[in-house]
Structure 1
Amino acid sequence: MSDGPASIEIPDVVGMTGREAHVVCRGLGLFLGYYNMDQQLPQGKVIAYQEPPPGTRVAPATAVRIWTALDPLPGDRDHGSQ
């Protein structure tokens, strides 16, 4: 294992609430970021998608971006207009 402590594996947070994912990510030394930066982290909503995907190895303090089921997914911008 040459990755050493400078590499963290992204956890699978899909299906968790924002609150649960925040605790998991903080415990690993990662940040949790909501795709819509104008709104607060959706603490009670279930996460439907994340980026980077689970299993990706990243540097400490990397942000894991999340989307809930009500948010337009990346690449789905045409379908997410209100």
Structure 2
Amino acid sequence: MGDRPPSIEVPDVVGMTGREARALCRGLGLFLGYFNMDQQLPQTMVIAYQEPPPGTSAAPATAVRIWTTLDPLPGDRGSQ
């Protein structure tokens, strides 16, 4: 019980592939969550946005949600 740190600094995963980000987050004690929970995490697509932002303190086992370069970013309503 004394093994886990009280908080973990969220890494910057923007620019990484899903596979790289998952390995990094897992190694730190965090989870990686894809914004579209109905689809499988795209392992080779590049991450364009994440939440919570890098440098944020998070509890162990917190999910870092990601959006890839092909996903609509949060707040993007499609200006067409």
Q: What TM-score do you get using the length of structure 2 for normalisation? A: 0.91
User: 1:80, CA displacement in angstroms?
Assistant: 7.9
Give the residue type in structure 2 aligned to 1:29.
G
**Residue type at the aligned position of 2:34:** Y
Q: CA deviation at 1:65?
A: 0.3
Work out the number of aligned pairs and report it.
77
The 1:80/1:34 distance shift into structure 2, 3 A limit, reads farther
Q: Deviations over 1:9-37 (max 9, x none)?
A: 00000000000000000000000000000
TM superposition outliers: structure 1 runs of 4+ over 4 Å: none
> TM (normalized to structure 1)?
0.89
Task: Give the direction of change, closer, same or farther, for the CA distance of 1:80–1:12 in structure 2 (3 Å limit).
Answer: farther
In 2, Cα distance between equivalents of 1:25 and 1:33: 10
RMSD: 1.7
Percentage of pairs with the same residue: 79
Does the CA contact (< 8 Å) of 1:18 and 1:47 recur in 2?
A: yes
Q: Which runs of 5+ in 1 are unaligned?
A: none
